[in-house]
Amino acid sequence: MSGNQAAAEAIRQINPDVIAAFPITPSTEIPQYVSAFKADGLIDTEFIAVESEHSAMSACIGASAAGVRAMTATSSAGMALMYEMLYVAASDRLPIVLAAVNRALTGPININADHSDSMGARDSGWIQLYCENAQEAYDNLIMANRIAEHPDVMLPIMICQDGFITSHGIENIVIEDDSEVRTFVGEYRPGKYLLNPSESLAVGPYSVSPYVIEMKRAVHEAMVKAKDIVRLVSEDFGRAFGREYGFMERYRMDDAEYAVLLMSSAAGTGKDAIDALRDKGVKAGLVKLRMFRPFPARELADVLKRLKAIAIMDRSDGFSATGGPLNAEVRAALYGEADVKATGYIYGLGGRDVRVEDFFAIFDDLSGLAAGRELPYCRYIGVRE
């Protein structure tokens, strides 16, 4: 099945209390499948068809604040229209789950994959997990509620997969038994919620200056604690279903001297390139970052510190004149922790293919960088000059 089907299957098995969604390519299929499940009596979810993505997130906020499990899906400009409400969801500590199908933000108009949508929301207070394939989209969605709803966390979470590449690509995946998934996810038992008759509660009130910084600090502390919860839930998932996940995947890194670091679907192409380079005697490796928020800075530095050189690959440009957001975050993580030479690349914007040959060129650059050749801080790869 496709990544969108896999995401919808996970939602069917979770059977959330509320789904509020508005269609936008390439995530449209997810609520479409879910509405069909509802029509066929396979779930008893309240499906709310809204007039915009802003309204979809607003409805999820209302539902979650009322004390029920709420989920949605969106892409690109839909996420941008939700932007105000993403911050509201996080500051109100509402464990909403968003199936994010990554698509380029408009300008120019494009419907294909890059990470500019979710990267634009990287500082909103949402946990972010990225998926290489449909199996990971399914698995991460099953883990999402457990992570977000943990009493030490209580933050919203988005599960990101690449538009069309993953969302519409068909592959064989393992779908677990419905009862086992529901046992793993468990029932949602909120600590505080608006419809609790025994407690008075305000959600989202106007906050004057003496309160705002405390609320932001609370989100910060929850994000710090979320690292341990992501790890613990992932370990539980491995024990339950046999597929193991960490903050990152290290591919052929045991004796690697050079490596690329990236997220999502391009990791599959990168692994093919690594295998070919290994056959030629190049000690190449790959690190696929699964968890971008919270950012595993020390864990990542510990993995990268013994390399001669690393390439940091972004599927979005931060327009800082120094490269993309992953490039900036990884370099910050390395500062003071690891003396490894690094260079950045922007690739794959608007669905542009990244090829095995592109990775070969990157590793040629890395060998030169390790030998003392100067390279730009960050540059585009795979473009027509």
Instruction: Kindly report, residue by residue over 68-124, the tens digit of the pLDDT.
Output: 999 999 999 999 999 999 999 999 999 999 999 999 999 999 999 999 999 999 999
Percent of the chain scored above 70 by pLDDT? 100
pLDDT tens per residue, range 341-362: 999 999 999 999 999 999 999 9
Could you identify the residue written with the tokens 């590793």? 363
Q: Which of 20, 24, 123 is nearest to 81 (CA)?
A: 24
Q: Which residues, listed in sequence order, are joined to residue 160 by a DSSP beta bridge?
A: 100, 130
Task: Compute the average pLDDT of residues 311-331.
Answer: 97
Q: Which of 284, 281, 289 is nearest to 252 (CA)?
A: 284
Provide the mean pLDDT of the chain.
97
pTM, entire model? 0.98
Order the strands of the 248-251 sheet from edge to edge.
248-251, 284-289, 258-262, 309-314, 341-346, 378-380
For 252, half-sphere exposure in the C-beta direction (CA atoms, 13 angstrom radius) is 21
Domains and CATH numbers, the chain: 3-241 (3.40.50.970), 248-380 (3.40.50.920)
pLDDT tens per residue, range 281-314: 999 999 999 999 999 999 999 999 999 999 999 9
pLDDT tens per residue, range 249-262: 999 999 999 999 99
Buried b (16+ CB within 10 A) or exposed e, 117-149: bbbbbbebbbbbbbbbbbbbbbbbbbbbbbbbb
